[in-house]
A = this chain, B = another copy of it.
Amino acid sequence: MGTVRKALGLLDILAHPDSRYGLTEMARLSGFDKATTRRLLLELKADGFVEQDEGTRAYLLGPALLMLGRAREERFPFFKIAQPTVRALAESSGETSHVSEYVSGAMASICAQESDKSNRVIVQVGERLPLHATASGLAYLAASMDAFVDAALRKPLPQFSANTITDPDALWTILSNARSRGYVECDQLRADGVFSVGAAIVSPKGAPIGAVAVALPSMRADAEKIAEIGALTAAAATEISTRLFGKTGGTQRIRKI
């Protein structure tokens, strides 16, 4: 396995929202030897991708990541464009909403706005959401080419909750419903008691980039509420898609997809 990918894997571990890992724990989580882990972390640290808490010696994500993330935002302002829509969606739906971008096999949560209700779903920025068990992931798949979906569903599909669907055919049914409806429904596939609704953010060519989703306690998720939030979510996804790539049909494209 390439050394570079091992190092990048360490960054993923550090992205976990509540990580405060020392060397030994990093080695355990990554599966690498302690010496290897340390050498990789030092290389990352030398370029500012990782920094170390002086007191606890815990490894943290470093300033280079902020800089590079900002540099990317300069050319493709995904966060800047998505954030206002996510806030508006949380407001209009009354529930926690968030935006994620597809990153190598999972959806990376970029921006979240919690509901102000006391019983609400919490979404952590930096979480990687699995494709087959979240509204964001299924929305992304629903907007993808069949061959891509097939490949994704052929991989091992972990079970997260009692309701997690790991049968590709059953997942295909959900996706085809979503395609005709314009948004995907996700009934406690990853966590008990959480219902979510999602819609894909797509490039002008129709390739999906990411997704918008709203998550609510399933006790509040009656059919009427779901339909209402579904429409809002689909509209939010369209709005972000349009603002990202310029008016539909326009030639002012930021990047080709």
Contact = CB atoms under 8 A, between A and B. Distances in A.
A124 B17 CA distance: 30
Count copies of this chain in the complex: 2
A257 B54 contact: yes
A53 B75 CA distance: 13
A146 to B, nearest CB: 19
Contact of A3 (B4, B55, B56, B255): B4
Interface string A156-194: 000000000000000000000000000000000000000
A5 B48 CA distance: 11
Name the interface size band of chain A: 35 or more
A256 B56 contact: yes
A61 interface: yes
Contacts of A8: 43-44, 47, 49, 64
B63 A70 contact: no
A111 B44 contact: no
A29 interface: no
8 contacts: A8-B43, A9-B47, A47-B103, A60-B75, A61-B68, A64-B103, A66-B69, A70-B79
